[in-house]
Amino acid sequence: MSSDILAEMGGTGFSTTFTPLDPARSAEGAASALYDELYAIIGDNIRRVAKGKAYRQVTEDFLDIAHEDGEGRGDLVSFVFRDGAGLCQASSHACEHWFQLYLAALASKSGGAPSALDTLAARHGLALVDEIAPLQALLDSCAEPLVVLRGHVFGVSGPKEDPYLVSDSLEEGHVEMEELREAERAKVRAASLKQRCDCVVCVTLRKEVDLRLPKPKRPPKAKKPPKLGIETSLYNDGKSRNVSDGKATALPDAVFEPPSLESLGIGAPITTIPDGIARLTALRSLHVINTQMTRIPEVLFRMPWLRELALSQSPFEEASDLAKMPWLEGIRLTHLRKLRALEDLRFDSFPNLRKLKLEWLELAHVPKSVWRAKKLRELEISDGTMTALPASIAGLTELESLTLWLDKLRKVPPLAGLMKLRVLSIQSEALTKIADDALPPGLTELTLSVETCTTLPSVARLRELTKLTLTGAFTALPEGLGELGALKELWIYGKELASIPEGALPKSLEVLSLCDCPQLKKLPTRIGDLAALKHVSATRTGLTELPESMRRLKSLDTMYVQSSPSFTALPPWIGELGALDFLALSDNPALGPLPSSMKRLKKLRHLDLAGSPGAFPLGDWLKTLPLESLYCSDAKVTKDEKARMARLLPNTRLA
């Protein structure tokens, strides 16, 4: 479970990674549906347990509002709880705590059976990738516990010996530590020192984990799949099937229909796969996850038409079984902790191996034969202990995509000679330096997530780069950035970045995203020279204003300025951005009234002012906008003002 929030919203939260059961199927759409279902289930369980006046501020108000802040996008399900300009700190604190507890409860397994979370994810064609912290560990230790004082819930934060209260800014409930009675202060200090939460949810879960789960909705009769005795679904015009049943210990032959199936995902506690699968002569892709199989079924050794095999979260023991399928073009091995002798498997004996993913296998090093698999085009290695990769990686001259998620990686291996490499992603918490000549010149996409690297390598040689993502403690942008004439997207997460020099950004940019850059006080004065810009985002930055040259950005259709405490005003020239379709100004506590020139934004369909109370009331110019949605939660908007806005915008969704 990651603590990183992958949404451009203020507040707190966490995200969890899932992967499609069928490697040929995207997680897009499925992750969104899973987010909605998980939010509903966890929210219902919270309301069932957290009763009473003290928790009403969370369960009756905040919980419903926060649903729209999180999302399921790509392979991530992100739960985000907005702070609301400091007005909802206790509620967001409580929600994050409770959602983590109930997600851990859903992920708890009994024996070898899949968890409730596994089953829910499988219904959407997904499988959990991240390891969820055990529920008992969360119940035993809580760094920021909750306490109830004077009929309200508070968070306890700060140093153990000198804690402070995190509260919602309610007139009748807000209280500071120095205002507490001695017994109340003792209660807060005790909670801080114990690092143990005694909120109603924690107390209830310590007694009994009683999860209330909804029964799966039955599809309309006309759309019911054949009665196979297990949960299964067909999609992709009947070319793909997903089997996801946490109780099925055997598969009926009818699962292997129609014979035209091209991809199959199996997520069930089975111990083997029936021979009937051999009838699927069109099958090209098979993903096996959350099973009880210890060996690869022999029937698969008689299916030379199978091209891709993914094995995940199952007790497979013998890596040598894979050698009996030399025709494979794609192999993915994920969380196989009992797998033995992977080092002895000769990956170079697969003459057509194009894709290889080795994810969280707890390897001391990558098997040497991987570096001899000369036809590899896509390689992904994820590991939490590996510190280095050998120079022999340079021999994979056909590589087009390389992902290295190695938390302990200390040095970038020699990649400059990989002339066909187009996509490179490196994530490490141990890298302190990357040499200027370490990166191959033909890259089109580059992601560097290097938390301890203060200086980034020059990108001047990367003339074909179209997308660049940078995350870490760097203090300056890489040299040569402004010379990249093909660059379209620049995504920056720079906690120590204080400035962007004039001319540092290429004029080809269409997307500029600045997130978690609290030291950044201003944008380049001449940013208006970037005529191709369509999307500008500044979230959790130190921005105070927008440079006047931005009025020349006639192609700009999306702009975020969010969670920036020093941002005070939207300039009058904002009305000159005629292409603007989406404007987000949420969680800006210092933002003042919006200018009347807003009425000139004839294409503006979405306006987000949630958590920015100073922007209200809005002028009558509001009625001239073609708004489809207006977000104003957590902005202290009065009932009269809401009613007025509803009259001005009868066809607009107010949230």
Kindly report, residue by residue over 135-179, the tens digit of the pLDDT. Answer: 888 888 888 889 888 878 888 887 877 787 877 764 444 566 777
**Pairing state between β 240-244 and 232-235:** antiparallel
Q: Are 116 and 290 in contact (CB under 8 A)?
A: no
The structural domain count of the chain equals 1
Q: Are 555 and 529 in contact (CB under 8 A)?
A: no
Can you give the pTM of this predicted structure? 0.67
Look up the domain containing 201 and give its range.
12-207
Tell me how far apart the 2 most distant CA atoms of the chain are, in Å: 76
**CB atoms inside a 10 Å sphere around CB 626:** 13
Residue 512 is assigned to a structural domain of this protein: no
The 8-class DSSP code of residue 129 comes to -
Q: Are 86 and 635 in contact (CB under 8 A)?
A: no
Tokens at 53, concatenated: 């006046």
Q: What is the 3-state secondary structure (H, E, C) of 365-384?
A: CCCHHHHHCCCCCEEEEEEC
Give the start-end residues of each E strand in 57-100.
Answer: 71-73, 76-81
Q: What average pLDDT values come out for the chain (655 residues) when binned by 10 residues?
A: 38 82 68 88 89 79 78 84 64 88 88 78 82 87 85 82 73 63 84 86 86 64 49 81 85 87 93 93 94 94 95 91 94 90 90 95 90 96 92 95 94 93 95 90 95 91 96 94 96 94 95 94 95 95 96 95 94 96 94 95 94 93 93 89 92 87
Residue 152 is assigned to a structural domain of this protein: yes
**CB atoms inside a 10 Å sphere around CB 415:** 21
Residue 80 is assigned to a structural domain of this protein: yes
**Pairing state between β 606-608 and 558-562:** unpaired
Which pLDDT does position 229 carry in this prediction? 56
Residue 55 is assigned to a structural domain of this protein: yes
Which pLDDT does position 484 carry in this prediction? 96
Which pLDDT does position 8 carry in this prediction? 41
Tokens at 304, concatenated: 């030379």
**CB atoms inside a 10 Å sphere around CB 639:** 7
Rounded-to-integer distance, Cα 467 and Cα 447, Å: 8
Residue 38 is assigned to a structural domain of this protein: yes
Residue 25 is assigned to a structural domain of this protein: yes
Scanning 467-620, the segments in alpha helix (DSSP H) are none
Nearest residue to 146 via CA among 65, 53, 38, 54: 54
Residue 417 is assigned to a structural domain of this protein: no
Tokens at 642, concatenated: 């809401």
Residue 30 is assigned to a structural domain of this protein: yes
**Pairing state between β 146-149 and 152-157:** antiparallel
Rounded-to-integer distance, Cα 548 and Cα 625, Å: 23
Q: What are phi and psi of 349, to 5 degrees?
A: -85, -5
The 8-class DSSP code of residue 340 comes to B
Q: Are 395 and 415 in contact (CB under 8 A)?
A: no
